[in-house]
Chains A and B, each alone.
Chain A
Amino acid sequence: MQIMLLCALFIPVLSGVVLLAVPEKWLPRERLRTLAVAVLFLTLAATVGVIFGYVMGQHTPLTLFHLTRQLSLVLRIDALGMLFLGFISFVWLLAGIFSLEYLNHETHERRFWGFYLLTLGALQGLSMAGNLVTMYLFFEMMTLVSMPLVLHAETHEAIMAGLKYMFYSMCGAYMALFGVFFLYYYCDTLDFTAGGVMTVQVWNQNSAILLVAVFLMIAGFGVKAGMFPMHAWLPTAHPVAPAPASAVLSAIIVKGGVLAIIRSVYYIVGAENIRASWVQNTWLVLALITIFLGSMLAYKEPVLKKRLAYSSVSQASYILLGLAFLNVGAMTGALLHIVFHAFIKTALFLSAGAIIYKTGKTRVNELRGIGKEMPVTIWCFTFVSLALIGIPPASGFISKWYLATGMLESGLPVFAWLGPVILLVSALLTAGYLLPVTIQGFLPGADYDYGKLVKHEPSAKMLVPLIILASGALIMGIFPGGLIRFLQQIAESVF
C-alpha cells in the first residue's frame, strides 16, 4: 500500500506542475477542466486506497529520502492523518466541481488549476507527514503554492493581500521553526508518536526554554489558523481569492495550522508536559479572545465574504480552544469541529460565490430577496448556517456539546466556565451575522417588488457540491455515532 501513499501525494503535485509548465495552446479550456477534475477524482481514489490500506493494517512508514543523515522525509499514515486526508480530498473535489462553472468569469484559468492542485498536494503531504521536518516542509510549501490563489485576481488589493498572507504565514512558520530546532535538539526522534516523544527527564531539566519553544510553535502554526494576535491576514486574504479558493483557504488550509499544532503538542511534546504551565494558560486566553473577537468583527462586517472570513477566525479558535484544554472530551469536540467546520465553511463560501457569480452582489444589505431569486442556494446557506450556530440536530451542535462538556470536566479554574460562556455568546453572534442573509433573502418585506424578480439559480455544477456539503453537515449531525467513536479513540490515544 506504500505506492498508494506516493500516489496520494504525487498525483496532485505532479499534475499541478505539468498544468503550469505545458504551453497554453496544448490545453484548451475544456481539456484543462476535464484533466483537472480527473486528477481530483484520482486523488480521492488514491486517498481511499490509503485509508483502505490503513484499515487493513498497513502502517509501515515510507521514507522518501534523507536531506542529511539525520533529517529524513517520511510519509506515514495514522488515524489523525487519515481523518484529514479524507475530508481534504473530498472537499477539494467538491470545490473543484463548483469551480468548473465559477471560473467562467475569471481569467488565467490554467494558473488557477495548477496551483489549486499543488495546494491539494501540499495538504495531502501535510496530513501524511510522518515526522516534524516533513510536516514543516509541506507547511511551507502550502503557504507558497496557495499564495497565487489569493492574488489570482491581480488587482492591487489582491496582490497586497497575497503578500500579506505570505508574510504573516512565513512569520508564523519561522516562529514554529524556532521550536522545531529546539525540539530536534532535545528529542531523540521527531517521528510522530501519540502521547509525545519527550522524556520526562529532559523536559524537567530544560523546561524553561522548551516551554518557550512550544509556545512559539503554537503561536506560529496558529498564524495559519488565524489565532489572535496574528489573525489580521485572514480577513484580508480569504475574501479576495476566487470563491472556490476562498472556500478551501478558509475551510481547509486554516486546518493545516490546526493539524500542525496537534502534531507538535500531542505527538511530539506530550500534553502532560504543558499542562498547567503558562503555555496552556496563554493558549487558552488567546483562543478565547480570538473566538470573541472574530465573532464581533464578523457581526460588524458588511461584506459577505469578509464576514465569512471573520467567522473562520472565530470558528478555528473553537478548535484551538478545545485542544488547549488538554482533555479527551474537549479534544473530541475539537476534532469533530474540524470536520464539521470544513463542510460548513466550504458550503458558506461556495454559496457566497454563487451569489457573486450570478448577481455580482457582495454586501449583505444588497441581498434583499435573494432567497426568491436563488432558493436552492439560500436554503443550503440556511441549513449550514444553522449547523454553524449549533442548533440541534445539525452537526455544529454535536461538536459544541463535546467542546462544552469537555471544558466543564476539565476542572481548570475560571476557564472551565468561561469557555462555555464564550461559546454561547459567540453562538449568539454567529446567529446574528449569518441569519440576516436568510431572513432578508426569504422575507424581503411588503414593499419588495416581485415584478422585478429574476430567477438566478445557478447550474447543477454549482448546486450539486453545495447540496452535498449542506446535507453532509446535516446528516453528520443526525448520525454522528461512528465518527464520534473514531475521534474519541484518537483523542484517547494521545493522553
Chain B
Amino acid sequence: MNSWLTVAAVLLPIAGGILIPILPFRRRIHMEWYIEALVIATSVLVWCLLLHRPEELVLLRFTDQIVFTLRIDGLGTVFAGLISVLWPLAILYSYEYMTHEERERPFFMFYTATFGVTLGIAFAGNILTMYFFYELLTLVTIPLVIHTFTRDAVLAARKYIYFSMGGAAFGFIAVVFLLYYGGNTEFVLGGFLGSLPGGLNFNLVLAVFVIGFIGFSVKAAMFPFYSWLPDAGAAPTPVTALLHAVAVVKAGAFAVIRLTYYCFGTEMLIGTWAQKLVLSLAMFTIVFGCSMAVRETHLKRRLAFSTVSNLSYIIFGAAIMTTAGLAGALCHMVFHAIMKISAFFCSGAIMHQTDHHFIPDMDGFGRKMPWVYGAFTVSALGMMGVPGCCGFISKWLLAEAAIGAGTVWTWIGVAALLISALLTAIYMMTFVVRGFFPGKDFDYEKLRDVRDPNWKMILPLAVFSIAIVGFGLYSTPLTEFLSRVAAGLI
C-alpha cells in the first residue's frame, strides 16, 4: 500500500477529532454517528495497513541524525492492531457513559485524537519519532484526566503531568545517547548499538539503559513511579478504561520493549546487573500492586492498582530478555487489555447506574445487574489465570519463558506471578461474591433503582467476555503470531 496512508491513519483521528467541537451537529446522535464512523474508518485503514504493509516513510529530515520516519513492523502491528479493535468499542461505551458528564465535545475531541497519537507511537520507525509521539500522548491526555474539574481531577492531572514529563525526561537521556552513538538508525530487533560503541565504559551504557528503562516505564506505572495511575482514576471511566488500562500504559510498556529489544539489544544486556535491577523492580511491582489493590476499597482505584501489577507482568516478560519472554509479554499485553478494559467498563457501568464508588456500598448489586456482574466475573477469572480464560495462557507463556531463562532470578519471578494471582483472586472475587451474595438479611428494597445499563454499554462487555473465554480456549494462531513477532520473523 501507499506509505502515505500510514500518515493518513495517524492524522485522520487527530484532524477528525479537532473538527468535533467545530462541526454544527444538530442532534447528539449525529455527533455519535460521526465519531463512530471516524474511528471505525481509522481502524479499517489500520488493519488494511497491517495486512498489506507499506514501505518505510521518511517524513522529515531535520539533520542527518534527526529524522522522522513511520514504519510498520511486527511489534507495531501487535500494538496498533490491539488498540484499533478496542477504540470503536470504547467509543460506543462512552456515548452512554458521557450522558451524565458535561462538556462532551472537547472530551470526544481529545479522546479521538489520542487514537491517532497512539497509532503514531505504534508506527514510529525510530526512537526519536517514538519519543515525539510519546510526549504528545501525555499532552493530549491531560485534558481527559482533568475533564471533571473536581479538585481530585485537577490534582491528578498535575501529578500526571509531573510524572509523565519527568519519566519522558529520563527517557530522553537514553534517546540522546542512542542518537549520538547509534546514529539515525531505525528500530532493529536485536539492537543497533552493536558491540560497545566508541570504547565506552560498559557500566555507563548499562546505567543509561536503566535510566531510560525506568523513565519509559513511568507510563507503565512501574514502582517507584506508579502513584499517578490510581489518582488518574478521577477521570471519566472511558478514559480510565481505555487509556489508563490500555493505550497510555501499554505505550509505556511498548516503549520499554522498543528500548530493550530494538535499540540496546538483549545480547548486550542479558545477565548484567542492569537486567537484574529492572527484573527486580518489575517483580516487586507485580506483588506490590496487587497488595495495594487488596487494601483499596474504591473500586476504580482497586482496578488501577491491579493495572500497576499487571503492567509489570509485561515489563517482567520483557526484562527476561529472551524471545520467549517477549512473546509472553506481548501475549499479556493483548490479553490484559481485553480483561482490564472489560473490568473497568463494568465498574463504570456500576458508577453510571448507581453513583456508588466504594465497594462496601455495592453489596447485592450482582442480583440486580447480572450482565455487568457476569462480565466482571469473567474478567476476574481471566485475571486470576483460571484455565479456560485467556489470562491463563499469557501467564503460562510468561512462566515458561521465566523458567526457560534458567536463572534463579527469573524463577523468583514465577513465584511473584503466582503470589500476585492469589492476591488477584482476593481483590476480584471478594467484590464478586459481595455483589452476588450480600447476606441473608439484606434488604433488596434499597436496590430498587439498580439495573443493568442499556445495550451500548452491554455490547462491548459481551464482546470482551466472549473474547476472554474464546482466547482462553483457543489461542494457537495468536500465540504463534506473537512468538513469530518476538523472533523477528514478521
Chain A contacts to B: CB under 8 angstroms: 65-69, 71, 133, 136-137, 140-141, 144, 147, 151, 153-156, 159, 162-163, 166-167, 170-171, 174-175, 177-178, 181-182, 184-185, 209
Contacts and interface: CB of A to CB of B under 8 A. Distances in A.
B399 interface: yes
Instruction: Give 7 nearest A-B pairs by CB, closest first.
Output: A137-B387, A174-B418, A181-B399, A170-B425, A154-B440, A185-B403, A68-B479
A166 B473 contact: no
Given A69-B476, A71-B396, A159 B387 contact: no
B480 interface: yes
Contacts of B404: 185
Interface in B195-215: none
Contacts of B381: 144
B411 interface: yes
A140 B386 contact: yes
Contact of B472 (A67, A69, A178): A67
A178 B476 contact: no
Contacts of A69: 476, 479-480
Contacts of B475: 67-68
Interface stretch (B65-73, B151-159, B426-434): B426-434
Given A67-B473, A68-B475, A140 B387 contact: yes
Given A67-B473, A181-B403, A151 B415 contact: no
A216 to B, nearest CB: 9
B360 to A, nearest CB: 14
A271 B433 CA distance: 40
Contact of B425 (A66, A136, A166, A209): A166
24 contacts: A66-B474, A67-B387, A67-B475, A68-B393, A68-B475, A68-B476, A141-B386, A154-B437, A155-B440, A156-B439, A159-B437, A162-B437, A163-B429, A166-B425, A170-B384, A171-B422, A174-B421, A178-B418, A181-B400, A181-B403, A182-B403, A184-B400, A185-B400, A209-B411
A65 B388 CA distance: 11
Nearest to A162: B433
Contacts of B384: 170
A163 B440 CA distance: 16
A162 B436 CA distance: 13
A156 B434 CA distance: 11
Interface of B: 381, 384-388, 392-393, 396-397, 399-400, 403-404, 411, 414-415, 418-419, 421-422, 425-426, 429-430, 433, 437, 439-440, 472-476, 479-480
Nearest to B390: A67
A164 to B, nearest CB: 11
Contacts of A166: 425, 429, 433
A133 B474 contact: no
A136 B387 contact: yes
A178 to B, nearest CB: 5
Contacts of A153: 440
A177 B429 CA distance: 19
Nearest to A174: B418
Contacts of B479: 68-69
A167 B400 CA distance: 25
Nearest to A135: B387
B425 A65 contact: no
A46 B64 CA distance: 75
Contacts of B403: 181-182, 185
A174 B429 contact: no
A171 B397 CA distance: 20
Contacts of A65: 473-474
Contact of B433 (A141, A151, A175, A178): A151
A133 B415 CA distance: 18
B467 to A, nearest CB: 15
B36 to A, nearest CB: 32
Contacts of B474: 65-67
Contacts of A171: 422
A162 B403 CA distance: 34
B437 A151 contact: yes
Contacts of B430: 163
Contacts of B397: 68
Contacts of B392: 67
B393 A67 contact: yes
Given A144-B381, A177-B418, A159 B439 contact: yes
A163 B387 CA distance: 20
A210 to B, nearest CB: 11
Contacts of A67: 387, 392-393, 472-476
A219 B400 CA distance: 22
A181 to B, nearest CB: 4
